Structure 1
Amino acid sequence: MSDKTVGFIGLGIMGLPMATNLLDAGYRVVGHNRSPEPTAELVAHGGEDGESPAGVAERSDVVLLCLPDSPDVERVVLGDGGEPNPVVDGVGPGTTVIDHSTISPTVAERVAEALAAEDATLLDAPISGGEEGAIEGTLSIMVGGDEDALDAQRDVLDVVGGTVTHCGPSGAGQTTKACNQIVVAAQMVGVSEALVFADNAGADLEAVVEAISGGAAGCWALDNRAPDMIHGDFDPGFFAEYQYKDLRIATDAGEAFGSPMPQTSLAHELYKSMVENGMGRDDNSGVMQVLELMNGGPARAEE
């Protein structure tokens, strides 16, 4: 049993299993979620209800966030947008806030500055690995911020992550996550395009997936998503609308830094089509459905 109290704000598809893993590892966990049902689940698992973001921060040594987007982080941490009890009102000297959300690097830097004014520390620590990684505690965690602060909280992060990498100063974790999402989107779109092509050519989709997974094309998307994709199973492990949001962050950053992003811009438009066609709550591998719409019919393995 650890004597460290961990706060957790944002108990969604990723946050709740991360928080319960911390409880199982012996940490006291105080949680909060905008909708009450996930908090009730955490309490049923042995956690405590912090009642508000500030309430969580007041009772915690370290506060973890797992929120959808930059405005959500600004609202919950700084009170922007009318949050009555933000994290900044509850932190004390020495509090560490670890933000697992995927947000703009510039927003991460601004939040870090605001917390530093209260003698608290922000680590921007976005995650990759989907719902499976959150459940199994094998997430890849990309951390920006003070390395000594990271070292002090490695025990917590080692519970929820399989790989914890310090990437540089504040904002560097978010930059690294943008790189991650660029590659993930490229995989998802490439696998989708290959499967639709293979189906049009009359190939056995299960055989295609097995064959190319063992060669130079082998990748996470082929191993973990293609077997479901060819059967039309797009139950979410990572929402397509979040992938779209992450690609918007990446393309905006690319514009700011003058970096060419031809492939990412295309993927961004395909995920936008998913959201506009009511598929935003499907898994991000569901981008295959947009290519199927363009194709005029689905690509499916024979049952």
Structure 2
Amino acid sequence: MSIETVGFIGTGIMGQPMAENVLDAGYDVVAHNRSRAPVDELAELGAEPASSPAEVTRAADVVVTVLPDTEAVTSVVRGDDGILNALRNGQIYVDMSTISPAATERLAENVEQQGAVMLDAPISGGEEGAVDGSLSIMVGGPEETFDAVTGLFEAMGETVTRCGDSGAGQVTKAANQIIVGCQHQAVAEALLLAKQGGADLEKVLDAISGGAAACWSLDARAPRVIRGNFEPGFFSSYHYKDLRIATNAGEEYGTPMPATSVVHEMYKAMEQTDRGRDDHSGVIQVIEDLAGEKARIDE
């Protein structure tokens, strides 16, 4: 199919820069968001505002949602003025949110009943990846549909991978969030140990970042952490939600998750101490609360 117009529902911290990159790639964009300001900013770049998910769906060849959680996606799809009420035969719906794999499979069935096709395509890379178009996109759904929208995905991401049938993208994202959350937790403990042991934190990062401990959390977040910079690239509250999805999937599939369960509780503590809007690397603050000391450098 020829894709000319892409509909975006959800133009927040991730969705807005993704939509901008799609505009830059030469697609027409129609957009809707619960709060109007991000849509107005996109309109200044050439996007067409829409008043509802159904209006977006009627105007677009491919509909994309980038929403916070399962409840939001379900509401947008099944609501009174939602996507299902406007889907056309052969149309493609792509959910790029991170939601429950089981809920994804149910929504895909609803979409199929309308004669359309759904892909689940959650993303990783944070706000930085959304801005510079370097996201990792993990896709579940029919191979021929994936092939039809690969060019669109490449306007938003650097690594685009079909991981299996419906729901496989969400399972892959759960695995991703387990690893990233455990990285942040391990880095937090390591930095605090180094601080309490009297080591130079910047030198510690130089020493371990090039060895076996090298990881994204050390490279992209630890230099900010030791300066107390928790400006969000990805909210801790979102990571907490993602880890709930992962642990719930573990219960469903019978997968033992001892480390993930501990990290889930740490992000719960972020939420309960009003730090949910901090970057997910800010989980170090929970460890610091327990220790009564901060892993910071003096500047």
TM-score, normalized by the shorter chain, greater than 0.5: yes
Query: Could you say which residue in structure 2 is the equivalent of 1:6?
Result: 6
Aligned to 2:35: 35
The answer to whether the aligner puts 1:300 opposite 2:293 as a matched pair is no
Structure 1 position 250 matched with structure 2 position 252: no
Distance in 2 of aligned mates of 1:186 and 1:212: 17
* Equivalent residue number for residue 17 of structure 1: 17
* Aligned partners of 2:88 and 2:116 also within 8 Å: yes
* RMSD between aligned residues: 0.8
Question: What residue in structure 1 maps to residue 157 of structure 2?
Answer: 161
Task: Write the deviation string for residues 93-139 of structure 1: whole angstroms up to 9, x where unpaired.
Answer: 11101111000001000100000011111000000000000001010
Per the normalisation by structure 2, the TM-score is 0.98
SS in 1 for 2:102: helix
SS at match of 2:191: helix
Alpha-carbon distance in structure 2 between the residues aligned to 1:184 and 1:220: 8
- Match of 1:181, SS? helix
Question: Which secondary structure does the structure 1 equivalent of 2:54 belong to?
Answer: helix
* Larger displacement relative to structure 2 (7-16 or 41-50): 41-50
Residue 168 of structure 1: how far off its partner (Å):
0.5
The reply on whether 1:141 has 2:137 as its aligned counterpart is: yes
- Report the CA distance between 1:46 and its aligned residue: 1.1
Task: Find out whether 1:194 has 2:213 as its counterpart.
Answer: no
Tell me the secondary structure at the aligned position of residue 225 of structure 1.
helix
For 1:25-60, what per-residue CA distance to the aligned partner results, in whole angstroms no more than 9, with x for missing partners? Answer: 111000000111111111111101121000000000
Q: Equivalents in 2 of 1:39, 1:111: separation in Å?
A: 26
Letter in 1 for 2:86: G
Which residue of 2 is the match for residue 74 of structure 1? Answer: 74
Match of 2:103 among 87, 103, 107: 107
Q: Which amino acid aligns with 2:11?
A: L
Deviations 1:181-209 (A, max 9, x none): 00000100000110011000011001111
What letter matches 1:244 in structure 2? Answer: Y
The 8 Å contact of residues 3 and 61 in structure 2, kept in 1 or not, is answered as no
Q: Specify the code of the residue in structure 2 equivalent to 1:214.
A: G
The percent identity for this pair of structures is 56
What count of residue pairs does the alignment treat as equivalent? 298
Q: 2:114 aligns with which of 109, 115, 118?
A: 118
Q: Show structure 2 runs of 5+ residues with no match.
A: none
What is the TM-score when the length of structure 1 is the normalising length? 0.97
> What is the CA-CA distance between 1:276 and the residue it aligns to?
0.4
Q: Which residue in the other structure is 1:87 paired with?
A: 83
1:258-283 superposed Cα distances (whole Å, 9 cap, x missing partner): 11000000000000000000000000
229, 233, 236: which one pairs with 1:237? 233
> Whole-Å Cα distance in 1 between the matches of residues 27 and 157 of structure 2?
15
User: What is the CA distance between 1:3 and its match in structure 2?
Assistant: 5.9
Give the Å deviation of 1:217: 0.2
- Partner in structure 1 of residue 264 of structure 2: 268
Counterpart secondary structure, 1:34: coil
The offset of 1:297, in angstroms, is: 2.0
Deviations 1:197-245 (A, max 9, x none): 1000011001111110000000001000000000000000000000000
Alpha-carbon distance in 1 for matches of 2:28, 2:75: 25
Q: Residue 203 of structure 1 aligns with which residue?
A: 199
Matches of 1:61 and 1:3 in 2, distance apart? 6
